[in-house]
Structure 1
Amino acid sequence: MHMSKRALALAATSVVVGVVGAGLAAAPANAAVLGDVTFSASSGSINDGPFLEWARSSGPCPTAFSQGASLDVVIDVNGNGSIDLENERFSLGPTLNEGGYDTVPFIQVNGIAGTARTLETRLQGRKGTFEIRISCLSEQFTTSPDYYRTEIIVEGDTWRLNEDVDPEPVEGTQEITTTVEQGEGQLTMTIGDDAQVTLPAPQLDGDRLSSEGDLDPVTVSDTRAGAPGWDTTAQVSEFSTGSAAFEGKYLGWTPAVVSSTATGVVAGATVAPGFSEGTGLSEPRQLAGAPAGSGTGSSQLGAGLSLEIPSDTAAGTYTATLTLTTI
């Protein structure tokens, strides 16, 4: 067996052909195409010795088959649709046997001037499309079922690369990892306009004086990691003017989620004014909330206000403070 060292100097010009399609014959069971083969020329004579100045694989050999490598033409001699690696693989160049071909970026087989291993001697008059491989060999010089390949077309006394076949995909995988750090984020609440609500003068409504209006818009924004959820409540003080006053229980509301970019935000329950019974908004009442696992984003909240007070309430301009809390 002729021993050859890999050449360090490469030709200035090369032609690359992608890994081609299904091929001329079925590969052995569990075989895989490892990549493509680069030639030092794109065409030539089938009588040239060597067939090529050099041929190069697009990657290394598998570790279990890293002792040797060869440049071969495979021919389905039996016409059975498969390749017998021992009897239908014909060498076109020196067989490399220095080992370590799993640690190099590629395998290069260099032709030897004057060699009798021409395409013509291997094809023995056959014409058509043929597969050229760089095969990898184990320490026992068994041939790996996995290989690098391209195709040539032989017509008359010439050959050329088959550049008209769609490349066969060569698949690989990458694992992508990223670490998301826990950010503090913020839970904020803003009150729109001027934080002032002026209800119309209450009008007689049966046995009471009543008035209605709208809460100034309230916006809750949550950028905290983990979506812990939040709750917005409100409580009103007593209404007073000078020495006169009435209880905050006479104010009620109907909460609403006006708009939201968050999921899971729900308006609180309607609270009726405590004219006949109940405590109205004199106790903390929910405007809206988001359970754990939701609420991340921005939500605009609102409420329709309803005031019902005794008909004998002293005249005057009454003021109360509605305290909103988001937690």
Structure 2
Amino acid sequence: MTTFDLLVVGDANPDVLLAGAPPVPPYGQAETLVSSGALALGGSAAIVAHGAARLGLSTALAAVVGRDGAGDFVLDVLTSAGVDIAAVTRHPDLPTALTICLDGPDGDRAILTAPGCLAAFDPAAFDPRQLPPARHIHAASYFLQPILAARLPDLFRTADATCSLDTNHDPSGHWHLTPGLLEACDYVLPNEAEALALTGTATVDAALAGFVKAGVVTPVVKRGRDGATARTGTELHNARLTPLVPVDTVGAGDSFDAGFLAAVLNGDDLDQALAIGCACGALSTREVGGTAAQPSWEQAVAYAAGSAGSADPAGSAIVPGVP
């Protein structure tokens, strides 16, 4: 059986992206015109898998979609990108999840998701020996998939691979993780708001320290236009590249994940991995949707190198007073 570079476990669905939506769309069967709309591949896991394949990693996705047109769309896009979908199952009854993103005129966004079959995704439905073997396993959209969430610590602990987690947002607002999950993670990859919520802290440095205390080897916090910060041992690592004027930021964090993991799996050090992640996140914002502008490896490396002059001058630093 082929050993992949990356196995991504999690969600896959179409995104319907509408730009120019009013802050509160009027009801009363009133039709409201918006400036533009697009249909794109969505789901954090699917976007990561698509981006990783674009970067040259041999990539497989384990997920569930319905036996419907939305599921057909998802599988067609993933297959066209070179993602192995042998571990994507089709639920016999429940529909594929669907997300609508409403981009308002002020740049803010509302995200509406019909979870469909997501909550039914159970990786234990696979014999672990039949899951595609990979050098690294990445899980995404933890809070949308309760069966996956409960089983993830065992999946990570028993895997002959390094492991990473991007929880994404928790719609319930509880931010509770399965006991033992963080200590099974080599990397966690939340954005800043998620990191603070997951650790109950008020600063990025405190969140990173909290993840390390919980057993994560290398926590990484994505900070949007301010780049990304990681911690390994007592060292902080920072990367910040020249930001682009975004067309659409949907999936930028997922593209960061793909770039960061690709760099790690290609043998780059942590500083370069952060820079490649930032480059992939930035370049993905050039077009509407999470995958349309995902870069190739050569494009990501070139952008990271071209932005080196604006990298965070602090670089790596020792955290004082931390064992």
Tell me the TM-score normalized by structure 1.
0.19
Q: Which protein is bigger by CA-based radius of gyration?
A: 1
Higher strand share: 1
